[in-house]
Structure 1
Amino acid sequence: MSIDDPRTRKLTEALRRAGVRITRQRAALLRVLAEAEDHPEAAELQRRAEALVPGLSLSTVYRTLTALEAQGVIQRHQFEGTPARFEHAEAAHHDHLIDIDTGLVMEFRDDRIERLQAEIAEALGYEIVHHRLELYVRRKTG
């Protein structure tokens, strides 16, 4: 991916709006973040970006992620017992299934759950504005 990639361009523009200078290291981080289809933590993003351009500090990664989050282009997820993970804010609504043994984070969407949540809110006189569902799971044995 290059700066011409729409997702990378969007992240770059968000940083510029925040007044953050786009260094070679930050450009590599933005590229890695744009390509990520998983939910990487900051240290993993640093490792991936360092493979492209050495010299990216973890503090720069955190400052960059904080600026991108403030601009609304990425989301921070703090799953129980794990470091914060990040994903693109443009992703369609989905929920998360977290394997507590492996740390694997899986996205899913189920219309039955969405309908049930809306029905419960409606029955209580509310409408859902935003929600987040995280299921912590362990593989069945036997």
Structure 2
Amino acid sequence: MNEQLETINRKLKTKGFKLTSQREATVRVLLENEKDHLSAEDVFLLIKPKYPEIGLATVYRTLELLSELHIVEKVNFGDGAARFDLRSNDQAHHHHHLICTKCGTVEEIKEDWLLPLENRVQAEFGFTVTDHRLDFQGICKACKAKSNDKAV
């Protein structure tokens, strides 16, 4: 985790920002809960016990800054809340998601399946893709199995 924190600190510095204690606390919560796709409120509630002086507005501003700097990705899974997902250093683009519309679980797809499509867009339209995101919505395996069990 310290290596990821140092990488994020370097990204902030190159853009003229410091890794303040509030920003570090926010990033640590995101790193510790990487698979959870936390909302700003979730992050705030996890930080508050360790940093009681931090305010929700500070967490929002920090997450927005991290989003603008492409350190985190702001995502919406259709539940009305913006969620924040750390961007991976080893991938050129943000990863993709499978979102269950029944139970709300989110599964990540780490492979970049859209690279051939990006190349086609470049060739046919002369458009250089700098980023993309793909979210699949549907019914997960567990919910599908529950539906099949009820039908029997």
- State the distance in 2 between where 1:115 and 1:34 align: 27
Counting matched residue pairs gives 135
* Equivalent residue, structure 1, for 2:138: 137
The answer to whether the aligner puts 1:46 opposite 2:44 as a matched pair is: yes
RMSD: 3.0
Residue type matched to 2:77 in 1?
Answer: F
Residue type matched to 2:4 in 1?
Answer: R
- Give secondary structure in 1 for the equivalent of 2:98: strand
The Cα shift of 1:116 comes to 6.8
1:56-88 per-position Cα deviation (integer Å, ceiling 9, x unaligned) = 221111000111112221111122233111111
Structure 1 residues 55 and 96: alpha-carbon distance in aligned structure 2, compared to 1, 3 A threshold:
same
* Equivalent residue, structure 2, for 1:105: 106
Q: TM-score, normalised by structure 2?
A: 0.69
1:96-128 per-position Cα deviation (integer Å, ceiling 9, x unaligned) = 1111222221101467x5477458x46x82477
The answer to whether the aligner puts 1:9 opposite 2:6 as a matched pair is: yes
Q: Which runs of at least 4 in structure 1 moved beyond 6 Å after TM superposition? A: none
* Equivalent residue, structure 2, for 1:68: 66
Q: TM-score, normalised by structure 1?
A: 0.73
Structure 1 residues 66 and 109: alpha-carbon distance in aligned structure 2, compared to 1, 3 A threshold:
closer
What are the ranges of 5 or more consecutive residues in structure 1 without an aligned counterpart?
none
What are the ranges of 5 or more consecutive residues in structure 2 without an aligned counterpart?
none
The Cα shift of 1:52 comes to 2.4
The Cα shift of 1:53 comes to 2.3
